[in-house]
Chains A and B, each alone.
Chain A
Amino acid sequence: MSITDLERQAQQAENAPVHAIEGRSQWSLTRQRLRRDKVAMASLAVIVIMVLLAIFAPAFAVLVHHPANAAYPITGENSAGQPVGPGTNGFWLGTDDTGRDLMVRVFYGARISLFVGIVTTAIATVAGVTIGMIAGYFGGIIDTILARVTDAVLAFPYVVLALALAVVFGPSLTIVIAVISFFSWAGIARIVRGQTLSLKEKEYIEAARSIGAGPLRIMFIDILPNLLAPVLVLATLYIPSAVVFESTLSFLGLGIQPPTASWGSMLSAAQPFYQTAWWFVVFPALALLITTLAFNLLGDGIRDAMDPTTERLVAARRRKGPRGSPSRSRNDDLDLIIAGDAK
């Protein structure tokens, strides 16, 4: 290579349009990795569809002319008074025990399940993060007491106590939300406490303290942002368990009360129809399964995307590595590798 070649190259490099080196945050990296995860994206799509079905359930009921709580003893039941199967008399998924449109009720059930899942997770997350952070940050006697309470809540046979609370205060949506929130914060608190314990020893916390920041400021401005990643993953994984919890309470008759549609109470009502009306069991069960599975898969995907050292991504990288994937630029690979090595 002659010196003129080198000069020309240098010239080219100087004349090339200047690209600012884009700093990318942890979040934008995570988003990118998540977007490449087909399973997580499919789960997200399923969740969005479920949310849309829940939101537009009333519109849907108008469309098929079957309000959620209206019974159709003539078209919706056969001559023996039994529910009719899918596709009969304009009931796409069949009818339930009192001749109501099963599909409309499954969509209405999504409203309850998703609402309870999201609201209780929000409450439990706020409570769990606050308690875990206080326990981890202050330590000492406060930590001991809070940790004991957390352990006690975690170890308690919660279905039994939930049943008792639901009976004592009378079953209602509010009680369901209160009970589920009460039993959900402890798991989050435990993990947040552990994270806070290690974070508070970091130099930057010491620096904050040395310039006179108070405990509240340190907790909410310095520690909290670093907790967001694990908490986000946990919250995504708590939504499905809250949905399961709600349906269990409703199944036992202590959650959402009839005639309001809820997947749990539908499955409970379906019990005498195992032999005669499989659709009455299968469709609410499928709706429940698909929803919780989608949230679990999405939560898994987010966790993998946040931690590039997890095997799934490493394996995917290895699989695609030698052949190279056209959809991914070289830069992205670099990001993955750097982020992976840094861990």
Chain B
Amino acid sequence: MTLAWFLIRRVLTGIVVLWAVASGTFFLFFARPVQTVAHQLAGRTATPAVIQNVINQLGLNQPIMTQYWHFLGRLLHGNLGYSFFTQESVNTMIKQDLPPTASLVVGGVILWLIAGLGVGILSATRARSLFDRGSTVLVLIGLSMPVFVVGELLIVAVFVPLNQHGLTWIQTQYAGPSQGLGAWSGHMLLPWISLAVVQAAIYTRLMRGQLLTTLGEDYIRTARAKGLSERRVIFTHGVRAALTPVVSQLGIDIGQLLGGVVVIEVVFGLQGLGQVAVAAIYQDDLPVIIGFVLVAAAFVVVANIVVDLVYTVLDPRVRIA
């Protein structure tokens, strides 16, 4: 019952958030004169009459509030509108460009959590060992690297030499899973690593600190005293308690993750939502921009609901209310 209430409440707030984000983006871009869009569409040599014609066709001549109501009405029907430039439906565009982005996010997050938590646990259980010191240095280097620098260095240091020596498994563009899992993972490997490196660094650090604190607690000593294996002590008793702050950090980072996704798509030419959004931003293609922002916001909202649910599983003291 409480779970149902929790979900209903969170979904409702989520919808309010989505509305606020969509409206914010809508009005932000209407701070720009519509002339620029029309100019780009009509070409450099267009007469004022042609430009006015384009403005009328796009419906940009109507008062802002009228346009806003139209926009909200369409949105309620699940229609994100049509690109100013290609007249393509934004819904179709999103469906087309989602696979590279989804591959990147899912694979990247899995790699990032495995690397971050794994290294964090290893260095906490071997505190002050050579491994621990080495990983601390690596973490700081990771923290200092912008995503695109990681990507570019990977291309220069891995992709280029491998391909010069005839090893063509690692590629840069996107290939869907339909072209074979090998091709897909080969194309996605470097993007996954780039996404994971920077984020994993933060999590290694957080996990190590939390686990070290937890392992110093009395109940861990009790667990050892009653003869549990070291593995059970660390994983069932230690890691589970140490995970809670890590999970709440995850809720915050999911929003930031999307920024990294945009940059990685540009670096590796993945043709996903991020790259389309950047192109749309350059062109003032408002419907496409709003579509992307809405997908991003929805992703953040859903991910945060999931994070909160995981939170209650990890820490039974936290009730969903």
Contact = CB atoms under 8 A, between A and B. Distances in A.
Interface of A: 154-160, 162-165, 167-168, 240, 244, 247-248, 251-253, 264, 267, 270-271, 274-275, 278, 281-282, 285, 288-289, 292-293, 295-297, 300, 311, 315
A274 B156 contact: yes
Contacts of B259: 157-160, 162, 248
B263 A296 contact: no
Given A160-B296, A275-B160, A155 B155 contact: no
Contacts of A154: 252, 255
B277 A160 contact: yes
B255 A155 contact: yes
B228 interface: no
Contact of B258 (A157, A244, A271): A157
13 contacts: A157-B300, A158-B255, A158-B256, A267-B148, A271-B152, A274-B152, A274-B155, A285-B152, A288-B146, A288-B149, A296-B144, A311-B127, A311-B212
Contacts of B144: 240, 244, 289, 292-293, 295-296
The 4 nearest A-B residue pairs measured at CB: A159-B259, A292-B144, A157-B258, A293-B144
B95 to A, nearest CB: 20
B162 to A, nearest CB: 12
Interface in B236-280: 251-252, 254-260, 262-263, 266-267, 277-278
A117 to B, nearest CB: 12
Given A157-B300, A160-B293, A167-B284, 10 more contacts: A155-B254, A157-B258, A159-B258, A165-B28, A168-B28, A168-B29, A248-B263, A282-B156, A311-B128, A315-B128
A168 B155 contact: no
Contacts, number: 118
B25 interface: yes
SS class of chain B's interface: helix, strand, loop or mixed?
A: helix
B146 A248 contact: yes
SS class of chain A's interface: helix, strand, loop or mixed?
A: helix
A248 B262 CA distance: 11
A282 B153 CA distance: 7
A147 B140 CA distance: 29
A251 B255 contact: no
B289 interface: yes
Contact of A252 (B159, B256, B266, B297): B266
Interface in B205-219: 212
B310 interface: no
Nearest to B303: A155
Given A252-B266, A274-B160, A281 B152 contact: yes
B129 to A, nearest CB: 11
B282 interface: yes
A295 to B, nearest CB: 8
B281 interface: yes
A289 B256 contact: no
Contacts of B266: 252
A292 B256 CA distance: 19
Contacts of B49: none
A155 B300 contact: yes
B114 to A, nearest CB: 23
B225 interface: no
Nearest to B262: A159
A296 B61 CA distance: 51
B31 interface: yes
A120 B212 CA distance: 34
B141 interface: yes
Contact of B140 (A167, A281, A293): A293
B147 interface: yes
A88 B95 CA distance: 50
Given A157-B296, A275-B160, A164 B289 contact: yes
